[in-house]
Structure 1
Amino acid sequence: MVSLKDVAQRAGVSVKTVSNVVNGYAYVSSGTRNKVEAALAELDYRPNLSARNLRGGRTGVIALAVPELDAPYFAELSRAVIEAASERGWMVLIDQTDGEAEHERRLLQGVREQSVDGLILSPVAIESDDLAARTDDTPLVLLGERVLDGPAHHIAVDNQRAAREVTAHLVELGHTRIAAIGAQERPGMGTARLRLAGYREALRDAALPYDEELVVFTPSYRRADGAEAMRRLLALPQPPRAVFCFNDLLALGALRTALSRGLRVPQDVAIAGFDDIEDGRYSTPTLTTVSPDKQQIARTAVEALHARIGGGVRTRRGLPAEQEVVARHRLVVRESTAGTARP
């Protein structure tokens, strides 16, 4: 195995300088860094991550816990986290919580019997009291809505603003009877609550009435839930001419019901979703949606966890140790609302 000493001899520098380059320290001149990187490549140097982690009292493994692994949004987000973690030489242990409060509480108190260096958690059911009662000192980063107060990084999408934007898009197209699919009765569903609030804001901004008849509660966010919700909306004496679904799976289910009834989308009813999953880019018609920046969410979460594991108050990018970060999002207009996709 090639050692740091071998690389140092090839580059004509000290072992300490090679170590600084390998570990990403900034205070190395560009000329020296180039020489070391060339020597690393020539000798095909591979760092011994296991030895490095053992010396630092770490495992080189982090945990990622999401509500549903088979939900495309969380599958795509998990992939992005794995890619970002692998750049730091970390392996990722993935867990599925099913949105159950007890499961999420167990994670807060320690990731089962596994020894991990940090935890990235996308909570659904726990409350602020659960976080306050936490005794485990494993570094923690939270994804999703800011429903928990406490000393942890929090990476979120502005769901209320995004929902307002997509509803406003439907208003701009001339729709006045706009439905919403995906409201939730379960406590702790902050995402659904904020998306509903954004929907209501857009209606209010357009001086349109809020009609409870047009808001369909769903037990979950599956395609079947969207299909059933759309069936109920189409059975109304005055069906809606546009529908905002709180995620893309609901929208795809709603789209299936509309097409099976012989309706044209978007001519007879426009349908929009949220999450920008791959399926929506290839559906017929393609799906208008809100696209959160999953890569930014994943990389920021990994960077924040690295800062907490290292015990520092800031990362290399200046991110404070306790901070809420709002990830970027954009409205992607496609055929299901506009008839044609916008660039």
Structure 2
Amino acid sequence: MADKRGVTIRELAQAAGVSIGTVSRALKGQPGLSEQTRSQVLDVAQQLGYDTAKLRTGKPRRILFLYNRSIGSLANNPFYSYVLHGAETACREAGVPLSIMSVLAGDDVASQVRRHESDALLGAGYFDPEAMDAIRRCELPLVLVDHFFPGVRCVNDDNQLGAWLATRHLLDGGARRVAAIFGPLAHHSVSLRAKGFRRALYEAGRLFDPDYEVTLDPALEYRDAGRDAMRRLLALPEPPDAVFAYNDSTAIFAIEFCRERGLRVPEDIRFIGYDDIEEAAHNKPSLSTVKMDKEALGHVAARALIEGDIEPNDASLPVELVVRESSRVGDVDVDVAGAEAAPARKPGRQAAAAKG
């Protein structure tokens, strides 16, 4: 007898003993399956009374752009504003409407998604496991940007290489005590940037020193958290002479605090950020940073949904070091060409002068 509850594709996959992707291909008549598997899935679907009208055919009718409400409004978040613009451009080119929805822990995501009448989801930024479970229970094609989740199509920049290039730039410029300011390390991009920072120290012969790595206090407002992180670094017995900040906004707040303390940038302390937001070039001093094509992140993710390219994968877009006033050594820029292939060196001690 047919199951009148409204069988989900996940339940159908479990009953047929195959993956959700296999069920989707079988019901859509897509290639890549044996006739035996296809027949098995169709038989189980008929037995359970699966509603095949749930399945999307062709390009999506509407894509829903999801973001974590905890980051604040998109208007005040330069990074995700660019990602959204790239996604909107791809959708406009394909004639697919795009709508926006924020997600917060405890939300009834499924009912909210239904109200948007979307049949594909583009998730931007970090979502905790509870939110990811709620999003995936919608059983719609999903692509993530600036996040990673097993079994999902993801689009990121090369975070680890970018942080390595930034840190290597500071080290090659003669910095002896390189510090870092990070956001929550549970975030995929932040954790990879931390790995890139530590890798650069290791290859330069500096032993990682946890005193020179601080994390933003989540209890503080964003600007206050950046200033507080810099205050903690300057309170060390031997303060850093260079800082890598995991994003540009944090670097700008840290520079602001240093200048209020009478420190000159870059003469007394040098800075480099990440993302190359518009404010980076106009800051005083202008901020060195790691540039990636933020609009391309959204554009690639939206195109993947439009073209049905949602097989699990973690695509990495290229990054580029941009040297400006905040990290310049005299009038000479550090050459980092071919840096990715630089040989490793024996580790020594990070900030040896600080530790005696």
Fold shared per TM-score above 0.5:
yes
Could you tell which deviates more after superposition, 278-287 or 331-340? 331-340
- Aligned counterparts of 1:219 and 1:237: Cα–Cα separation in 2: 21
Which residue in 1 is equivalent to 2:287? 287
- Aligned counterparts of 2:239 and 2:119: Cα–Cα separation in 1: 52
Which residue in 1 is equivalent to 2:80? 74
The answer as to whether partners of 2:182 and 2:246 remain within 8 angstroms in 1 is yes
Per-residue CA deviations over 1:155-179 (Å, capped at 9, x if unaligned) read 1112112111111111000102011
- Aligned counterparts of 1:133 and 1:157: Cα–Cα separation in 2: 23
Gap change, CA 1:115 and 1:57, over 3 Å in 2: farther
Could you tell which deviates more after superposition, 297-306 or 82-91? 82-91
- Aligned counterparts of 1:275 and 1:283: Cα–Cα separation in 2: 14
Q: Secondary structure at the match of 1:275?
A: coil
The answer to whether structure 1 residue 90 and structure 2 residue 109 are counterparts is no
| Paired residue type of 2:237 | P
Measured after TM superposition, the shift of residue 242 of structure 1 is 0.2
Which residue in 2 is equivalent to 1:333? 323
The answer as to whether partners of 1:66 and 1:123 remain within 8 angstroms in 2 is yes
**Pairwise CA RMSD:** 2.8
- Aligned counterparts of 2:131 and 2:84: Cα–Cα separation in 1: 27
Gap change, CA 1:136 and 1:125, over 3 Å in 2: closer
Structure 1 residues not aligned, in runs of 5+ = 1-55, 309-313, 315-319
Gap change, CA 1:107 and 1:205, over 3 Å in 2: farther
The answer to whether structure 1 residue 254 and structure 2 residue 244 are counterparts is no
- Aligned counterparts of 2:77 and 2:63: Cα–Cα separation in 1: 21
Per-residue CA deviations over 1:16-37 (Å, capped at 9, x if unaligned) read xxxxxxxxxxxxxxxxxxxxxx
Measured after TM superposition, the shift of residue 223 of structure 1 is 2.9
- Aligned counterparts of 1:86 and 1:109: Cα–Cα separation in 2: 26
Gap change, CA 1:112 and 1:175, over 3 Å in 2: farther
Which residue in 2 is equivalent to 1:63? 64
Which residue in 1 is equivalent to 2:155? 155
The answer to whether structure 1 residue 139 and structure 2 residue 145 are counterparts is no
- Aligned counterparts of 1:341 and 1:155: Cα–Cα separation in 2: 35
The answer as to whether partners of 1:110 and 1:138 remain within 8 angstroms in 2 is no
- Aligned counterparts of 1:269 and 1:333: Cα–Cα separation in 2: 15
- Aligned counterparts of 1:137 and 1:212: Cα–Cα separation in 2: 42
Gap change, CA 1:81 and 1:132, over 3 Å in 2: closer
Structure 2 matches for 1:180-329, cutoff 5 A?
180-184=180-184, 188-220=186-218, 222-308=222-308, 321-329=311-319
Q: Secondary structure at the match of 2:321?
A: strand
Give the alignment partner of residue 122 of structure 1, picking from 115, 121, 124.
Answer: 124
Gap change, CA 1:291 and 1:304, over 3 Å in 2: same
| Paired residue type of 1:283 | N
Q: Secondary structure at the match of 2:233?
A: helix
Measured after TM superposition, the shift of residue 274 of structure 1 is 0.7
| Paired residue type of 2:211 | E
Measured after TM superposition, the shift of residue 264 of structure 1 is 1.1
The answer as to whether partners of 2:143 and 2:304 remain within 8 angstroms in 1 is yes
Q: How many residues align?
A: 270
Which residue in 2 is equivalent to 1:170? 170
Q: Secondary structure at the match of 1:87?
A: helix
- Aligned counterparts of 1:83 and 1:209: Cα–Cα separation in 2: 45
Higher relative contact order (CA 8 A, sep 6+): 2
Q: TM-score, normalised by structure 1?
A: 0.71
Gap change, CA 1:272 and 1:137, over 3 Å in 2: same
The answer as to whether partners of 1:158 and 1:327 remain within 8 angstroms in 2 is yes
Measured after TM superposition, the shift of residue 284 of structure 1 is 0.7
Which residue in 1 is equivalent to 2:346? none
| Paired residue type of 1:115 | E
- Aligned counterparts of 2:197 and 2:105: Cα–Cα separation in 1: 27
- Aligned counterparts of 1:274 and 1:341: Cα–Cα separation in 2: 21
Per-residue CA deviations over 1:279-299 (Å, capped at 9, x if unaligned) read 111001111111111232122
Gap change, CA 1:232 and 1:305, over 3 Å in 2: same
| Paired residue type of 2:198 | R
| Paired residue type of 1:180 | A
Structure 2 residues not aligned, in runs of 5+ = 1-56, 336-356
Q: Secondary structure at the match of 1:116?
A: coil
Gap change, CA 1:272 and 1:145, over 3 Å in 2: same
The answer as to whether partners of 2:105 and 2:130 remain within 8 angstroms in 1 is no
- Aligned counterparts of 2:181 and 2:249: Cα–Cα separation in 1: 11
| Paired residue type of 2:318 | R
